[in-house]
Chains A and B, each alone.
Chain A
Amino acid sequence: MGELKLMKGNEAIAEAAIREGVDAYFGYPITPQSEVIEYLMMEKPHERTGMVVLQAESELAAINMVYGAASVGRKVFTSSSSPGISLYQEGISYIAGAELPCVIANVVRGGPGLGTIQPSQADYFQTVKGGGHGDYRLFTLAPSSVQEMADFIELGFEIAFKYRNPVMILSDGMIGQMMEKVELKDQKPRWSADEIKAMHGSWATIGKPESRERNIITSLDLDPHKQEKHNHHLQAKYRQMEKEEVRYETFDTDDAEYLIVAYGSSARIAQKTIMLAREKGIKVGLLRPITLYPFPEKPLAELASRMKGVLSVEMSAGQMVEDVRLAVGCSDIPVEHFGRYGGVIHSPDEVLEALEQKIIGGK
């Protein structure tokens, strides 16, 4: 049984990283997630577990420090917010190409550009459709509570090392800043050098003994045929993730006639919308994708087949709705998007109004 605490999402993810036995955190301050590095600095994890915490000179440096520590088989964590995550993209592409594990948290704020410091979900495209260059996929977990901010550290590293792929925890300013009760797991020991050698010595650049060929971490192959082969290997990995790692939950869908699809903060708000709707006699359910990549397209397609309409709710101008439409397919039911954006959070009433106007009324 873990320890119960009242914490901000940003603090919970930091504390969870220490307890996970993470070896290093590299980051650069940016609102609304600076509490992550502040908490880590205050906690002196170097004394608790030997974990390294370093404030880099820029996001470019931070993500490349992550690349370095990940290349030697260590558990590395970093966090930032939208403009900073844009600067991470080059590094994330290299990390994906070189097949390195790491966990990155994006506490999303409104954009584009410098935007605002208020919550947003407008980094969906950037996260699940690429962001950086080349054919790669970023495994994406979307927490909708402070508890999940903490829990997704462990899950994130499990996936990251299983597939040797970067994992994104796509949060937002609301989840990062809000305080909630969180159950923290017991402290795990950090991996020893011998454990790392045994588990990751086949690829990690931890120093070449005479007994093996040198290990090389690179995403470069000038021979296009070899590069294509490498890409085939990456794609096979992504297909496996799509087959085995989809996570989602449903709420009030058994008798539902209408479906809301929402993740993170919007999923919390949608739950209230569902209560309000049911008070008015409108039977609405919720599908909450927990993994945004891989997207829960099959469960969504199944649910949608018995719905009269689907509303995708996201604090954006309409990004996830494209995946919702792809999943629902060429059905004649309405599939629409609703969301406030640019840092504005929609209310449950606004979501209900959108449901009534765009889906029920628009039928």
Chain B
Amino acid sequence: MAKVRGAIVVDVEKCKGCGVCVPACPSNVIELNKEVNGKGYHYSFMARPEACTGCTNCAVVCPDGVITVYRIKIPS
């Protein structure tokens, strides 16, 4: 059975730190960063990247379209 791994890239400077992506993630990957971007927003990031499946939920619900999603199938 193949295992699916994903990763997201957040456009840090365009992220407004609204946090809508956080509860949208079924794998509890995302958190808002303690650090801030140039506008003072606590941007989102993969706090637990190993759990990301690349399901795209976070990107789909992101109002600012700042999340890009990648996914790969790893043969077991």
Chain A in direct contact with chain B (Cβ < 8 angstroms): no
